[in-house]
Amino acid sequence: MVDEGGRVTTLEAPPAMEPELEGEHMLINLGPQHPATHGVLRLVLELDGETVVRCIPHVGYLHCGFEKIGEYRQYNQIIPWTDREDYLNSPGNNVAFALGAERLFGVEITPRCTVLRVIAMELSRIMSHLVWLGTTCIDIGAFTPFLWSFQERERIYTLLEQWIGARLTTTLTRVGGMGADIPDGWMDGLRDFVRTFPKTIAEVDRMVTRNGIWVGRTIGIGAMTGPDAVNAGLSGPLLRASGVAYDVRKDFPYLDYETYDFDVPVGTSGDVYDRFLVRMEELRQSVRILEQAAARLPDGPVNVDDARVILPPKSKATSEMESMIHHFKQVMEGPRPPIGECYVAVESPKGEKGYYFVSDGTPKPVRWRIRPPSYVNLSAIPRMVEGHLLSDVIAINASIDIVMGEIDR
Amino acid sequence: MGLTARPDRQLVSVSPQSQEGWVTTKLDFLVNWGRANSLWPMPFGTACCAIEFMATAASKYDLARFGMERMSFSPRQADVLICAGRVPFKLAPVLRRIWQQMLQPKWCISMGACASSGGMFDNYAVVQGIDTIIPVDVYVPGCPPRPEGLIYGIMMLQEKVKRERMSDERLRDELEPDPASKLYIPPEAIDELSEPFGNSVHQTRSGL
Amino acid sequence: MTAPLVVPGSADPASTPATLRAIPHRGGALNPTADRIKSQFAEAFVRAEVIWGETNVYLRPESVLDVVRYLHDDAQERYDYLSDVTAVEYRDLELPLQVVWHLRSLPFRRFLRLKAELPKGTPLSVPSVFSIYSGADWLERECYDMFGIVFEGHPDLRRILMWEQYQEGYPLRKDFPLRGRFSRSEQLRQALAAQPESRYSMTELTIADAFEDLPLEMRQRLAGGEKTGE
């Protein structure tokens, strides 16, 4: 069915060529080791021929006890673990954790740190969406966008390596500031990336968005209605493609996101094609935010001047007694927050990512809870795949954009 | 005092190389060259290392120049199992079964700290090194290893493959982990060993 | 594109959300929902407090479902989004176990934390909110897996992150050591014996076409919850 604008809206199934055969249902095990499950996910599918009648997902194959370990580490020591849970969005997780810990400590960060964190979060969003793009294209059959998106990722890796020393698992933030300030000339590299990246988006767009195979494999597949999606606790591009404009950056802002000029793309039908369009548009909007952040980066210190949480500079720690004591206490014991709890949520590329801290006044948290967006998003997959074909299961799974590290923690 | 009698030892060592003729040596060279330059990887990618593996396979660090661009997700068609990422206990039987499904000749690269030793996850959920489950040929340290590091590990594996000899009869035997080996340490002993390195297994200084 | 169906902030279109600054440790503004819960559910309400700008409402465990249903359905509350279900155990082992629900009202842009305290020594169970939020499914399963808290009314409460025959206990409890209770070799042995992929549950097995061919006695045993391979 084609609308007035020439855009394909629905596809009709071709006429049945074979007589209806009575058959029994088949039990198929997809995973946990599978190229297209985006990690170690196991889906048990009941198939009637090629059509999925029921889907039972099994997770936990990457459960590594993150939340348990968090109770045995000081707050700054937990930050490397936040890299590894959603490993596609490492800088974003680092920022989210630092925001939560700073609220727990009652510490306000500097203006320069605020803008640098916005840059980190948006670079992280671009990185994550690029992996999603590359792997989704491979799953549906297009290999080249994978190479293009990883080439762009390499450019971001170079920027992050210049900043903090690591490519993927960055450990970018500390409670009260950042691990390091950006080096000289780094902003030129960022501006260069921001200037040339839209060309890659446009190239992938030209190749994929109106491609007959792509459209045929993604339109009408795996749709969720808006109210169902809200009730299921979905978030991120998955929820926005179903028509609900919930974005944590707009509705519960942090890091001065309300002062940036950007749009939040919202879909209509919630199918795989809409999710694809929403994420492609988010890439463009992230570039917009990066341009604004690059323009407004203020000078000044990047770490807050609070000796309770931030290590004093080495020159002072080795010469002044007070700084030496602060350094000693922070390294040996760790910064102590007041008794309390807080929950801070950010908009990660997967959805509403939250960290819930409970503190009893000791340097190690009593409870560190990760609210995993992919976990809740994936729990809706049985509803999304019912009635679709086996190859659609792969497309739907790719469109949810899951990271097993975050799901299983 | 003085000189003690030298114990009667077998002084003759038999090296496989000395048992071979010219044809076998050349055949070895050809076979090993073929195997080393077309190692089809089975990417058992679980976590962050899998992303660095994908980056190594992508354009900038290109695994295709090593003959490894053909990722074989079916273990039946793979030569080298690259375990990239942490392996929890729930995944351990899966890894074992995948390894057993691979046909000889097969090798294993343990990529990253978590696959080699459990990495930063010294807890109830993670296998402390996949060499407790499957035999590993090359360990690549890093968290995650840089693509250059992984490529160095792959090249080490290629060296190992090229040094293989057909006359070595035990080469292609299936190795099973030895339950009597000293890897199996009870938790009290592990805690005692790690005490000097801080209280990373205690929630508070009082030892909870 | 047509207008979206559920609009965050629709109940208060004039509001402009902003980044929170200078949040007091205690004594911030109470979420108005807390007072309404107190007046409508006086027996269920235990206390409310504001920490770091977030309102915590403590309820009696057995009445959580009624309060949550009211919060979901009432036109003044409209807490349509369940963000999280989790639990907290304190290091002071005398303190009760707390079950925590994080609710969001998208139209009013509000956040509320509900808590229920389960004293140690009493059965650890709370009502499940699955009948109101379908997103509670896996969140409650994980809470059961990690803490051993039973959510009554949940259709399929079984372990999700650890394998179902996991015997070491509930990992996030404070009496569970970081490295687990068993030795490393015993953990490995149990993990290799668990083989979760070869144990199909009753739900999955009814699919397989050989089910009718199984002996009646075996089918009855499977219907009783036993798994294959045991």
CA A404 to chain CA centroid, Å, is: 12
Q: Which of residues 142-171 of C touch A (CB under 8 A)?
A: 142, 146, 159-163, 171
Q: Is the pLDDT of residue A17 over 60?
A: no
pLDDT digits (tens, 9 = 90+) for B156-191: 999 999 998 887 777 888 877 666 666 666 777 777
| Chain B positions with Cβ closer than 8 Å to A | 44-48, 50-52, 54-55, 58-60, 71, 73, 85-86, 88, 90-91, 94, 98, 120-121, 123-126, 143-144, 146, 200-204
Chain C: list its partners (3+ Cβ pairs within 8 Å).
A, B
Q: What's the confidence (pLDDT) of residue A334?
A: 87
Interchain pair B88, A84: CB under 8 A: no
Q: Is the pLDDT of residue C145 over 60?
A: yes
Candidates B46, B52, B202, partner chain A, best to mutate (most A CBs within 10 A): B46
Q: Which residue has the higher pLDDT, B6 or C136?
A: C136
Interchain pair B123, C178: CB under 8 A: yes
Interchain pair B126, A65: CB under 8 A: yes
pLDDT digits (tens, 9 = 90+) for C150-183: 999 998 888 999 988 888 899 999 999 888 888 8
Mean pLDDT value across residues A51-77: 92
pLDDT digits (tens, 9 = 90+) for B32-66: 999 999 999 999 999 999 999 999 999 999 999 99
Interchain pair C188, B133: CB under 8 A: yes
Percent of the residues in chain A that have a pLDDT greater than 90, as a whole number: 77
Contact A94, A116 (CB under 8 A): no
pLDDT digits (tens, 9 = 90+) for B57-83: 999 999 999 999 899 889 999 999 999
Chain C: residue nearest B200 by CA? C178
Interchain pair C133, A232: CB under 8 A: yes
Q: Which residues of A touch B126 (CB under 8 A)?
A: 64-65
Between CA A348 and CA B51 the distance in angstroms is 18
Q: What's the confidence (pLDDT) of residue C4?
A: 45
Percent of the residues in chain B that have a pLDDT greater than 70, as a whole number: 81
Q: Which residues of A touch C83 (CB under 8 A)?
A: 233, 345, 352, 354, 371
Interchain pair B96, C197: CB under 8 A: no
Between CA A393 and CA A270 the distance in angstroms is 15
Q: What's the confidence (pLDDT) of residue A317?
A: 85
Mean pLDDT value across residues A88-103: 95
- Dihedral sign for Cα A59, A62, A64, A70, please: negative
Give burial (CB, 10 Å; 0-12/13-18/19+) of A98. Answer: buried
Tell how strand C81-88 and strand C97-105 pair up.
Answer: antiparallel
Q: Which residues of A touch B200 (CB under 8 A)?
A: 72-73
Q: What's the confidence (pLDDT) of residue B168?
A: 79
Convert B73-99 to b/e letters by CB count within 10 Å (16 or more is b).
eebeebbbbbbbbbbbbbbbbbbbebb
Chain B: residue nearest C176 by CA? B124
Q: What's the confidence (pLDDT) of residue C14?
A: 79
Q: Is the pLDDT of residue A379 over 50?
A: yes
Cis bond leading into A32, ω under 30°? yes
Q: What's the confidence (pLDDT) of residue B3?
A: 54
> In whole numbers, what is the pLDDT of chain A averaged over residues?
91
Which range of residues forms the domain containing residue B156?
21-177
Q: Which residue has the higher pLDDT, A112 or C205?
A: A112
What does pTM read for this prediction?
Answer: 0.89
Q: What's the confidence (pLDDT) of residue A37?
A: 79
Contact C99, C35 (CB under 8 A): no
Interchain pair C91, B183: CB under 8 A: no
The hierarchical CATH code for the domain A66-370 is 1.10.645.10
Q: Which residues of A touch C100 (CB under 8 A)?
A: 356
Q: What's the confidence (pLDDT) of residue C228?
A: 58
Chain A: residue nearest B47 by CA? A405
Mean pLDDT value across residues C100-116: 94
C184 at A interface, C-beta within 8 A: no
Mean pLDDT value across residues A77-97: 94
ipTM above 0.85, yes or no: yes
Rg (CA), chain A: 23
Interchain pair C81, A26: CB under 8 A: no
Min Cα–Cα distance to chain A from B98, Å: 9
Q: Which residues of C touch B191 (CB under 8 A)?
A: 179
Q: Is the pLDDT of residue A183 over 70?
A: yes
State whether residue C53 is helix, strand or coil.
coil
Chain B: residue nearest A331 by CA? B198
Chain C: residue nearest A64 by CA? C161
CA-based nearest residue to A247, from A272, A225, A264 = A264
Please state which of the ranges A337-341, B6-10, B129-133 shows the lowest mean pLDDT.
B6-10
Between CA B198 and CA A151 the distance in angstroms is 41
Interchain pair A27, C208: CB under 8 A: yes
Q: Is the pLDDT of residue B201 over 80?
A: no
Q: Which residues of A touch C160 (CB under 8 A)?
A: 59-60
Interchain pair A258, C18: CB under 8 A: yes
Nearest to B91 among A61, A68, A169 (CB): A61
Q: What's the confidence (pLDDT) of residue A156?
A: 95
Q: Is the pLDDT of residue B5 over 60?
A: no
Min Cα–Cα distance to chain B from C103, Å: 30
CA-based nearest residue to A348, from A254, A260, A261, A226 = A254
Identity of the amino acid at C107: P
Count of structural domains, chain B: 1
Interchain pair C91, A246: CB under 8 A: no
For chain C, the structural domain boundaries read 32-161
CA angle B201, C85, A106 (to 5 degrees): 65
Min Cα–Cα distance to chain C from A318, Å: 33
Interchain pair B90, C187: CB under 8 A: no
Interchain pair A42, C197: CB under 8 A: yes
pLDDT digits (tens, 9 = 90+) for B88-130: 999 999 999 999 999 989 999 999 999 999 899 988 999 999 9
Tell how strand C110-118 and strand C54-59 pair up.
Answer: parallel
Min Cα–Cα distance to chain A from B55, Å: 6
Interchain pair A65, B121: CB under 8 A: yes
Q: Which residues of B touch C229 (CB under 8 A)?
A: none
C210 at A interface, C-beta within 8 A: no
Between CA B130 and CA B110 the distance in angstroms is 7
Q: Residue B148: how many CB atoms within 10 A of its CB?
A: 11
Residue B1 is assigned to a structural domain of this protein: no
A30 at B interface, C-beta within 8 A: no
- The enclosing domain of B64 has a CATH number of 3.40.50.12280
Q: Is the pLDDT of residue A207 over 70?
A: yes
Interchain pair B91, A62: CB under 8 A: yes
Q: What's the confidence (pLDDT) of residue C188?
A: 85
pLDDT digits (tens, 9 = 90+) for C179-210: 888 888 888 888 888 776 666 665 666 555 55
Q: What's the confidence (pLDDT) of residue B24?
A: 82
Alpha helical stretches, state H, A221-299? 226-231, 237-241, 248-251, 272-296
CA-based nearest residue to C171, from A336, A409, A164, B36 = A409
pLDDT digits (tens, 9 = 90+) for A263-275: 999 998 889 999 9
CA-based nearest residue to A114, from A65, A193, A19, A178 = A178
Candidates C145, C167, C173, C179, partner chain B, best to mutate (most B CBs within 10 A): C179
Min Cα–Cα distance to chain B from A227, Å: 33
Mean pLDDT value across residues A373-388: 93
Min Cα–Cα distance to chain A from B13, Å: 45
Residue B12 is assigned to a structural domain of this protein: no
Chain B: residue nearest C165 by CA? B90
CA A132 to chain CA centroid, Å, is: 10
Chain A: list its partners (3+ Cβ pairs within 8 Å).
B, C
Nearest to C192 among B96, B185, B191 (CB): B96
Contacts of C49 (CB under 8 A, 6+ apart): C26, C55, C56
CATH superfamily ID and name for C32-161? NADH:ubiquinone oxidoreductase Nqo5 subunit (3.30.460.80)
Q: What's the confidence (pLDDT) of residue C230?
A: 46
Please state which of the ranges A169-183, B72-86, C8-22 shows the lowest mean pLDDT.
C8-22
